Structure 1
Amino acid sequence: MQDYKAFLSEILISEEKLQNRIAELGAEISRDYQGEKLLLICILKGGVTFLVDLMRRITIPHAIDFMAITSYGAGVRETSGNVRLTMDLQTNIRDWNVLLVEDIIDSGNTIASVLELLQTRQPKSLNICVLLDKAERREVVVPIHYRGFTIPNKFVFGYGLDMDEYYRNLPFVGVVDLEKYKPPA
């Protein structure tokens, strides 16, 4: 297994900056949903790290649930254009204030499909909290209510984001030097 330092071109967002911004987001969400029935929905797998840190910073009672969506083809950098639900929610979201917690939004196609699906289930409200917004890659308009960082169109990993399912555990968001990256055998 290749050490991440061999293909890390730069640390885009440090652990300290991540944690400071997540604390701010938690405070905003706590204020906005005070006295409301709040459900955080994490989109697996990448959103888990962000969800765990975010929910620790939300000071009001809330529930969590998970769903898994796939939109990627065979290669790590290829998108198939197809969005498929691979794991559905356990919670009936009718009349809940739903906050989708996502690690990264680039084209917007995946999250737009999730919003469309969840809207049919009649939540009281449906909003998005994304850690990383790659806005210049956007193909579909998506209403982001809480945004951690807007980032350039670079391939990133760490803090929940993977390279071939590895390196999610890193405490920062790094940029991959694709010429130096070697996929695991």
Structure 2
Amino acid sequence: MLDVVEKVLVTQEEIMKRCAEMGKQISEDYKNKKEIPLVVGLLKGSVPFMAEIIKHIDLEIQIDFMDVSSYEGTESLGNIRIVKDLDCSVNNLSILLVEDIVDTGRTLKEVKRMLMSKGAKEVNVVSLLDKPERRVVDIEAEYVGFTIPNEFVVGYGLDYDQKYRNLPYIGVLKREVYEQ
């Protein structure tokens, strides 16, 4: 698989170190608020990141998953559809939404709006990656692992055409792979 990656942006070691730091900060913040978050992973990209970061959250958390889609190929379409909704009620809960990357922000903004309309007390976001150059809506994650340039990345949950999610690092996909 390495032949499809132009360069490694974030190593597995850097990801693990940053997850430990963010997990500690999240634990402190929620303890100070006297809240226990429902940790909600956005499928499928957040799974490796969520699995790592929850190891470092020192709280009695619960987890759930949502599957929402707004992408086709390499482009965000802007219209969000729920493929899998949460299994539990979010009424009066503090939600910690786990995202692989904040790109255009459209998906994140819509998911936050939906959760708030279902009665969530608050929705905070932890994202492994932030790509601010691509933002088209006004939204930011409360916790960000790494800010990256506007390059097409794969690995550690991020995919191209459902492939390369299992790379243990974040790499830039070679243009010839997705411009065929």
TM-score of the superposition, structure 2-length normalised?
Answer: 0.94
Work out whether 1:63 is the aligned partner of 2:62. yes
| 1:68-147 equivalent positions in 2, closer than 5 A | 68-73=67-72, 76-147=73-144
Q: What is the alpha-carbon distance in structure 2 between the residues aligned to residue 36 and residue 97 of structure 1?
A: 7
Q: Distance in 2 between matches of 1:133 and 1:121?
A: 26
**1:121 Cα deviation after fit:** 1.4
State the Cα deviation string for residues 28-85 of structure 1 (Å, max 9, x = none).
0111112422110000000011110011111111000000101013xx2133222111
1:19 aligned residue (12, 16, 21): 16
Which residue number in structure 2 is paired with residue 49 of structure 1? 48
Equivalent position SS for 2:175 = coil
CA distance in 1, matches of 2:172, 2:178: 15
Distance 1:94 1:37 in 2: 13
Q: Root-mean-square deviation (CA), in Å?
A: 1.3
Change in CA separation of 1:177 and 1:39 when aligned onto 2, cut-off 3 Å: same
Contact 2:36/2:59 (8 A) holds in 1: no
- Structure 1 unaligned regions, length at least 5: none
**Cα 1:101/1:31, change in 2 over 3 Å:** same
| Cross-structure match for 1:164 | 161
Q: Decide whether the 8 Å contact of 2:38 with 2:62 is kept in 1.
A: yes
Structure 2 counterpart SS, 1:139: coil
Contact kept in structure 1, 2:76 and 2:104, CA below 8 Å: no
How far, CA to CA, are the matches of 2:59 and 2:137 in structure 1? 32
Give a deviation string over 1:116-153, Cα, whole Å, max 9, x none: 11111122221111110000110001131101111000
Unaligned residue ranges in structure 2 (runs of 5+): none
Residue identity over aligned pairs, in percent, reads 42
Paired residue total? 177
Contact 1:45 1:68 in 2 (8 A): yes
How far, CA to CA, are the matches of 2:76 and 2:120 in structure 1?
Answer: 29
TM-score, normalised by the number of residues in structure 1 = 0.92
